């Protein structure tokens, strides 16, 4: 679609004609007329009517150049198709526990029983798919913490590398403090105006490894503006076979340090959630979506390309051509007069 940024400038188009009509005519010369002995030299001079003057090519060039100049001043532009631009200044990092206890099969996915990590992969993958516009990073931790995926808009890569993770990849123990510290380090490397900084940390145990205490790491997170949502995963009851026969109920999440996870979340302005099954884990990630909503795309944006330089360039080219032709004609006339003088 074509448009003019300043269409009101077009009212200047008849300005030269108005000036010609309203401006006073040039006064006639009061000096005596030139006396010549014969009119033979003036045979080529004829009176021209107004219609003949309009046929003067210089006049037409000047008119076209004026129209192009006014058009350039009106700033013609080409407006492209409407675009939807997703905008979000949020950096969202996921920290997933890969310690040995995540192998506990106390979750169900569909109609089959699966381990905690498998359920986490399925639910977190859906969560990642919904985070359009967010920059997402992935931290995997066990006895050590690793940055598996730096902050990126490529959600598919984050999902693939999450699905490829396996239990024991980072060791058998749990280093919650190191995982938070690694996230803090990544946040500290971001520009100050990078937007909201969020960490969703999922674990099924307590801090049993690492160099940094979880609460100390939470204090560092608070200082850099990193908001942490902690998720404690694991069923509260599980039936297992007894050594003396029969079955008995146990608490597979007895090692879960809910007090520390709650303190981490409260200290950084986040929340602590408890996931005892797949359904509750899905509800938690949906709740995180509500607490940290995805920014709506800016609909209605149309790219605009300014084109004023085309008519401006055309006007300059026409005026330049007219000046050059006029100068050339004068030179030819002068040369012709000199030749006639030499011949005479």
pLDDT at 79: 81
Q: What is the mean pLDDT of the chain?
A: 83
Q: Are residues 103 and 235 in the same domain?
A: yes
Report the CATH number at residue 286.
3.40.50.410
Grade residue 282 by pLDDT with cuts at 50, 70 and 90. Answer: very high
Mean pLDDT in residue range 259-280: 94
Can you tell me which residue has the tokens 């569909």?
A: 110
pLDDT at 48: 47
Q: Are residues 177 and 326 in the same domain?
A: no
pLDDT at 109: 87
Q: Are residues 271 and 243 in the same domain?
A: yes
d(CA 281, CA 284) in angstroms, rounded, equals 5
Number of domains observed in the structure of the chain = 2
pLDDT at 245: 59
Give the CA diameter of the chain. Answer: 147
pLDDT at 67: 92
Q: Are residues 144 and 272 in the same domain?
A: yes
Residue 161 lies in a domain: yes
pLDDT at 50: 46
Our CA dihedral for 98, 104, 106, 111, rounded to 10 degrees, sits at 80
pLDDT at 222: 94
Question: Residue 255 phi/psi, 5° resolution?
Answer: -85, -5
Grade residue 323 by pLDDT with cuts at 50, 70 and 90. Answer: confident
Q: Are residues 113 and 131 in the same domain?
A: yes
pLDDT above 70 for 300? no
Mean pLDDT in residue range 88-98: 86
d(CA 145, CA 139) in angstroms, rounded, equals 7
| Lowest-pLDDT choice from 50-54, 96-100, 135-139, 158-162 | 50-54
Q: Are residues 320 and 226 in the same domain?
A: no
* Global confidence as pTM: 0.62
Domain carrying residue 158: 85-299
Burial tier of 225 (Cβ tally within 10 Å: 0-12, 13-18, 19+):
middle
Q: Are residues 59 and 89 in the same domain?
A: no
d(CA 255, CA 211) in angstroms, rounded, equals 20
């Amino acid at each position: 679609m074509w448009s003019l940024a300043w269409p009101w400038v077009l009212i200047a188009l008849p300005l030269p004609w108005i000036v010609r009509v309203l401006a006073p005519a040039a006064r006639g010369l009061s000096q005596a007329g030139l006396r010549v002995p014969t009119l033979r030299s003036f045979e080529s001079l004829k009176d021209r009517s107004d219609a003949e003057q309009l046929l003067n090519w210089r006049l037409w060039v000047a008119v076209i150049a004026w129209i192009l100049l006014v058009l350039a001043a009106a700033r013609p532009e080409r407006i492209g198709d409407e675009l939807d631009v997703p905008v979000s200044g949020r950096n969202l990092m996921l920290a997933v526990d890969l310690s040995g206890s995540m192998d506990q099969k106390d979750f169900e996915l569909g109609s089959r029983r699966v381990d905690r990590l498998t359920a986490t992969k399925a639910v977190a993958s859906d969560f990642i798919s919904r985070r359009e516009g967010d920059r997402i990073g992935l931290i995997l931790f066990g006895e050590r913490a690793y940055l598996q995926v730096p902050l990126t808009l490529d959600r598919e890569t984050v999902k693939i590398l999450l699905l490829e993770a396996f239990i024991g990849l980072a060791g058998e123990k749990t280093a919650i403090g190191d995982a938070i510290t690694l996230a803090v380090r990544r946040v500290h490397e971001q520009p100050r105006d990078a937007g909201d900084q969020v960490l969703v940390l999922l674990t099924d145990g307590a801090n049993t490894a690492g160099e940094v205490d979880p609460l100390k790491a939470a204090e560092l997170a608070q200082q850099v503006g990193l908001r942490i949502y902690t998720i404690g995963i694991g069923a509260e009851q599980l039936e297992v076979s007894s050594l003396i026969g029969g079955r008995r109920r146990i608490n597979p999440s007895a090692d879960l340090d809910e007090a520390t996870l709650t303190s981490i979340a409260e200290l950084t302005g986040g929340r602590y959630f408890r996931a005892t099954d797949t359904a509750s884990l899905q509800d938690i990630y949906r709740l995180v979506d509500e607490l940290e909503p995805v920014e709506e795309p800016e609909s209605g944006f149309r790219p605009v390309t300014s084109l004023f330089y085309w008519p401006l360039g055309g006007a300059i080219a026409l005026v330049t051509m007219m000046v050059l032709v006029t100068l050339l004609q004068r030179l030819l006339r002068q040369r012709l007069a000199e030749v006639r003088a030499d011949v005479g």
